[in-house]
């Protein structure tokens, strides 16, 4: 074991701000980072937030809105870096969902500029992480871009998040759902987090807090999202989906749940299932594996029952049928297992060995919904 691997490293954004109308106070938090905001989003997203952002940046050097509809690929990023450097702006921001946040992270990293994340949905835990996912120009996964630091600011305006489709909040809960179960598995296995070190106590506390908050507030938060009103439970779940899960997954480590989600994503016909929905199903597969192969089968059985009840309460999938994969073929199951068991992936953070036969059997055990 190297000296680095003996460390316990926890990464987090320098500042996290959340609340209804937070975009109208944006300048208060970006002033320390520099003058002028180079803000990347799609055209529709820009129109949704333009008035609030302009109100929030008086005397802060203004904002250049940059409509972006392309793929998060090196060619597009290189062009955006050129535009940023010619703009006179000092700060790079991304607004919207995962793709535009990742593009902004990459641009900021290559331009060595301060990085601001403005999520307008809580469908993923990506805003807080030091990671961007790069694709080819035609949208095929290329590689992960690991950044030198986490974002300088993550600001979540819950008025905009509450206005987004409720299904996106539920998907974020699916992503957050995995955080505790994967971090626990990683810690028990002596595995590594995203920084290549053991998960520390802070990460494990945040990860467990994800699960506690989901059980306590998830269903009520979804009601508030459907009614387009930010209440206390919605505020708790937004922070859970974005911050607790974002720091918890990166510093706590990933395991079987995300490995299974990657396998599901490799099946082209299943792409209509969002990442968080696939991860929620992956959590259940992980717990089936723990029940069959792990040292604490009773704990896994109880966890699986509780997780499936939670998923049903917020509309997350509990079966292959819910993912429109009731008719999954043997060849597709083999492909799912091949991707999930990739040695470069996350399955190695499980505290026991998993074979393709084990994994396919666990997936098939969840053929029917609760």
pLDDT digits (tens, 9 = 90+) for 217-254: 999 999 999 999 889 999 999 999 999 999 999 999 99
* pLDDT mean values, one per 10 residues, the chain (370 residues): 67 94 96 95 95 87 91 93 96 93 96 97 92 82 86 97 96 97 97 92 96 98 94 98 96 96 81 82 98 98 98 96 93 96 94 98 91
CA distance 141 to 136: 6
For residue 5, the model assigns a pLDDT of 60
What are the structure tokens assigned to 290, written together? 């723990």
CA distances from 123 to 145, 224, 288 (A): 21, 15, 25
For residue 192, the model assigns a pLDDT of 94
For residue 272, the model assigns a pLDDT of 59
Q: Give me the sign of the Cα torsion angle 143, 144, 145, 148.
A: negative
Terminal Cα-to-Cα distance of the chain (whole angstroms): 44
What's the pLDDT tens digit per position in 181-227?
A: 999 999 999 999 998 999 999 999 999 999 999 999 999 999 999 99
CA distances from 85 to 81, 92, 156 (A): 6, 10, 26
Burial 119-130, CB ≥16 within 10 A → b, else e: bbbbbbbbbbbb
Q: Helices 256-265 and 166-189 meet at what angle, rounded to 10?
A: 130
- DSSP class of residue 146 equals E
CA distance 92 to 299: 45
For residue 269, the model assigns a pLDDT of 64
Q: Which domains does the chain show, CATH number per domain?
A: 16-162 (3.40.50.1970), 166-364 (1.20.1090.10)
């Amino acid at each position: 074991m190297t000296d680095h691997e003996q460390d316990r490293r926890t990464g987090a954004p320098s500042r996290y701000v959340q609340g209804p109308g937070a975009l109208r106070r944006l300048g208060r938090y970006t002033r320390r980072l520099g003058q002028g905001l180079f803000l990347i989003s799609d055209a529709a997203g820009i129109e949704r937030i333009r008035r609030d952002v302009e109100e929030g940046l008086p005397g802060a050097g203004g904002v250049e809105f940059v409509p972006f509809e392309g793929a998060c690929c090196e060619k597009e990023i290189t062009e955006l870096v050129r535009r940023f450097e010619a703009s006179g702006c000092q700060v790079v921001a991304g607004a919207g969902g995962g793709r535009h946040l990742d593009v902004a992270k990459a641009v900021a990293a290559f331009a060595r500029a301060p990085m601001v994340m403005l999520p307008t949905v809580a469908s993923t835990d990506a805003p807080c992480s030091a990671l961007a996912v790069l694709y080819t120009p035609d949208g095929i996964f290329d590689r992960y871009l690991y950044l030198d630091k986490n974002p300088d600011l993550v600001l979540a305006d819950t008025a905009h998040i509450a206005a987004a489709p409720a299904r996106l909040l539920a998907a974020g809960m699916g992503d957050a759902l995995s955080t505790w179960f994967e971090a626990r598995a990683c810690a028990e296995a002596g595995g590594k987090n995203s920084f290549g070190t053991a998960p520390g106590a802070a990460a494990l506390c945040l990860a467990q807090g994800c699960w506690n908050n989901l059980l306590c507030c998830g269903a009520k938060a979804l009601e508030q999202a459907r009614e387009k009103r930010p209440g206390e439970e919605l505020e708790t779940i937004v922070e859970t989906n974005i911050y607790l899960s974002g720091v918890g997954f990166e510093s706590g480590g990933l395991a079987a749940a995300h490995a299974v989600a990657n396998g599901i994503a490799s099946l082209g016909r299943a792409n209509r299932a969002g990442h968080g929905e696939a991860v929620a199903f992956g959590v259940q597969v992980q717990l089936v594996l723990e029940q069959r192969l792990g040292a604490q089968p009773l704990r896994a059985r109880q966890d699986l029952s509780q997780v499936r009840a939670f998923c049903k309460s917020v509309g997350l999938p509990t079966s292959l049928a819910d993912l429109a994969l009731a008719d999954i073929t043997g060849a597709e199951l083999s492909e799912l297992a091949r991707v999930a068991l990739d040695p470069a992936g996350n399955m190695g953070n499980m505290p026991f060995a998993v074979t393709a036969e084990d994994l396919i059997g666990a997936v098939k055990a969840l053929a029917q919904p609760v």
